[in-house]
Amino acid sequence: MKILVIGGGGREHALIWKLSQSNKISQIYCAPGNAGIAELATCVPIPANDLDALLAFALKEEIDLTVVGPEEPLVNGIVDLFSEHELKIFGPSKLAAEIEGSKTFCKNLLKKYGIPSGDFASFDNIDDAIEYIYHHGAPIVVKADGLAAGKGVIVAQTVEEAESAVYTIMRKKAFGAAGEKIIIEEFLDGEEASFLVFTDGDIVIPMVTSQDHKPIFDGDQGPNTGGMGAYSPAPVITDGLFRRIMNDIMIPTVKAMAAEGRKYKGVLYAGLMIKEGIPRVLEFNARFGDPEAQPLLMRLQGDLLPVLEACITGHLAKAMVSWDERPAVCVVMASGGYPGAYEKGKVISGLEAAGKLEDVMVFHAGTTTNEKGEVVTNGGRVLGVTALGATIPEAIERSYEAVKLISWPGVQYRRDIGQKALKRLQHF
């Protein structure tokens, strides 16, 4: 089979690494890919959001299955476009991807079907939004309705901060069209966790749990990023809570989407806030998380390909999904300055030595090769150094052992990935 993976981050490298182990796959293409992906796949320089060029490529190369990594092409309808041309593609349709593409749609759905989440209101008018903020008080959360690459969320500690967030999004249009509508939400307190499932629109198969680290600095300080590291499992999700999340959130959401005529096929990812054992939905994503995909796919056993195919054909009930008992930890290494401005083109040293460590994978995100053939930085998040270990502490130790072998001028990474899990484990 010929496979095309769309995207070029750590998530896509992990997907390609996993798919490359399938004996049913003869060739993998990736658009646009990165330096690490280029070792396993043929990279083609098509941006992930150029739907027409991706379609033309898939038709020309007679791609048997396309796997979509990021949200943007999904929300823009790549699955519908490919399906119209009888090309097999993994991911939700445009109508189904709206669960990530419009926060208002998502929150209305949750409310209508009684799925636990915080209170909210949507506005397309500045004055009404500000009146609502003054009426409800702070802390309060202001979000652009549409896709804003994870940046359109402001957790405001004061009403003044919330008011200024409304101006930033609606008047200054800091997130473009994504901010034509805003949503104002109740602030939810607690510990976050990521819960991902495979679904064919009917059957729901959970993955193991995970937790991201969104802020740039240790101790969850500083601005939010795409994610600075992740571990799996997340001990905050006990067995009882796991069942509750499936029964009260994941299965009802998949059923609700079908009832709304938006049958959801693909990976559905819930960002949850957990307080005193009660889970509530912060948001849904229409895809694998990044960096969560990296530890999750290292723990996934067996062939990923038939699972993806079963989601498309509606045969997920027959799919086999099993997981390595060993925890995995991913530490993201980023460019100095990220999530603000940063320089590119720094030569990365130590990749070979780190890659030789057992049960360690150095997944590439923002990397490319320079004219001398050296691997250089090419983005904010550069690498996702991911390790399996017998225990969470061992997985943490092994991933940092690999991280310490790698460097470039200005590199930054968090030193405390996984510490939250350790704190919880000490409680038991």
Single out the residue of 88, 214, 263, 299 in contact with ligand AMP (rule: CB under 6 A): 214
Of 96, 142, 130, 269, nearest to 197 (Cα)? 269
153 in contact with ligand AMP (CB under 6 A):
yes
Task: Find the part of the chain contacting ligand AMP (CB under 6 A) among 90-98, 182-190, 405-413, 420-428.
Answer: 182-190
Per-residue HEC secondary structure of 353-384 comes to HHHCCCCEEEEECCEEECCCCCEEECCCEEEE
Cβ pair 350, 374 in contact under 8 A: no
Element (H, E) at 270: strand 266-275
Q: Which helix (H) or strand (E) holds 122?
A: strand 120-123
Q: Which is nearer to ligand AMP, 183 or 406 (CB)?
A: 183
Q: Residue 185: which of ligand AMP, ligand GLY, none does it interact with, CB under 5 to 8 A by kind?
A: ligand AMP
- Interacting residue with ligand GLY among 8, 73, 201, 227 (CB under 6 A): 227
Q: Does 290 bind ligand AMP (CB under 6 A)?
A: no
Q: Which of residues 244-263 bind ligand GLY (CB under 6 A)?
A: none
289 makes contact with ligand GLY (CB under 6 A): yes
Q: Are 241 and 274 in contact (CB under 8 A)?
A: yes
Q: Which stretch binds ligand GLY (CB under 6 A): 13-21, 60-68, 282-290, 391-399?
A: 282-290
In the bound state with ligand AMP, the residue whose beta carbon lies nearer, of 38 and 138, is 138
DSSP string, 65-76: EEEE-SHHHHHT
Q: Residue 289 touches which of ligand AMP, ligand GLY, none (CB < 5 to 8 A by kind)?
A: ligand GLY
Could you say whether residue 100 binds ligand GLY (CB under 6 A)?
no
Q: What is the largest CA-CA distance in the chain?
A: 60
Q: How far apart are CA 340 and CA 82, in angstroms?
A: 35
The strand pairing partners of 128, in sequence order, are none
Residue 309, contacted partner among ligand GLY, ligand AMP, none, CB below 5-8 A by kind: none
- Report the SS3 class of residue 280: strand
- Which residues ranging from 220 to 279 are in contact with ligand AMP (CB under 6 A)? 224, 271
285 interacts with ligand GLY by CB under 6 A = yes
User: Which pairing describes strands 229-232 and 266-275: parallel, antiparallel, or unpaired?
Assistant: unpaired
Does position 100 interact with ligand AMP (CB under 6 A)? The reply is: no
The alpha carbon of residue 207 and the mean position of all alpha carbons in its chain are separated, in whole angstroms, by 14
- Contact flag: residue 292 with ligand AMP (CB under 6 A): no
Q: Which two tokens mark 351?
A: 């990749």
69 binds ligand GLY (CB under 6 A): no
* Residue 10 sits in the site that holds ligand GLY (CB under 6 A): no
Nearest to 120 by CA among 191, 189, 192, 182: 182
| Residue 187 is a binding residue for ligand AMP (CB under 6 A) | yes
Question: Residue 246 binds which entry of ligand GLY, ligand AMP, none, with Cβ cut-offs from 5 to 8 Å by kind?
Answer: none
Q: Select from 283, 290, 292, 303 the one that contacts ligand AMP (CB under 6 A).
A: 283
Q: What is the spatial distance between Cα 90 and Cα 32, in angstroms, rounded to a whole number? A: 17
The sign one gets for the Cα dihedral 242, 248, 251, 257 is negative
* Binding positions for ligand GLY, rule: CB under 6 A: 150, 212, 227, 285, 289-290, 292
* Binding positions for ligand AMP, rule: CB under 6 A: 118, 141, 150, 153, 155, 185-188, 192, 214, 224, 271, 282-283
